[in-house]
């Protein structure tokens, strides 16, 4: 689909680690982002997926969610908290779901009014229908001011 290809090209061009990690965009729409990454490029010394890779793919899934919805703003992560519940030892996907509508609408309204706003997002990585990584982060969007 067009949106998935466009997002994947953007990530690979502007965030080069995403290409090195082999990240692909499985789904990208206004309700959900799913990013996939291969085990082979993200393996650690214990033959499981490197924790930093799990964190990076979850971060990129949430970042991508804001990026798709909010044009003309700079998006930065300000805080993250992650629980590594089980090891991952295969190709994996990070899923970021849209936050509660009320929180999302408040975020958009504050961004429009003040030019900057924060939103809490979460992502999960599961394997064999078991939750392996539970990720929560705060992202800030800052409206770009045209240089004069």
Write out pLDDT tens, residues 78-123: 999 999 999 999 999 999 999 999 999 999 999 999 999 999 999 9
- Comparing CA positions, the residue from 60, 130, 58, 137 lying closest to residue 89 is 130
Element housing 57 (H / E): helix 51-69
Q: How far, in Å, CA of 148 to CA of 146, rounded?
A: 6
- 5's CB contacts (< 8 A; 6+ apart) are 25
Q: How far, in Å, CA of 59 to CA of 105, rounded?
A: 21
Write out pLDDT tens, residues 26-54: 999 989 999 999 999 999 999 999 999 99
Q: What pLDDT score does 25 carry?
A: 98
Element housing 48 (H / E): none
């Amino acid at each position: 689909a067009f949106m998935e290809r466009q997002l994947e090209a953007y990530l690979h061009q502007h965030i080069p680690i995403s290409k090195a990690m082999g990240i692909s965009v499985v789904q990208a729409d206004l309700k959900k982002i799913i990013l996939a990454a291969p085990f082979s490029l993200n393996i650690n010394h214990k033959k499981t997926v490197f924790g930093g890779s799990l964190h990076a793919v979850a971060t990129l899934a949430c970042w991508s969610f804001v990026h798709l919805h909010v044009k003309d703003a700079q998006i930065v992560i300000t805080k993250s908290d992650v629980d590594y519940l089980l090891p991952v030892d295969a190709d994996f996907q990070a899923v970021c779901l849209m936050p509660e509508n009320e929180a999302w609408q408040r975020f958009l309204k504050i961004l429009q009014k003040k030019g900057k706003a924060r939103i809490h997002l979460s992502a999960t990585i599961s394997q064999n229908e078991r939750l392996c990584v539970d990720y929560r982060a705060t992202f800030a969007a800052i409206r770009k001011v045209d240089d004069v």
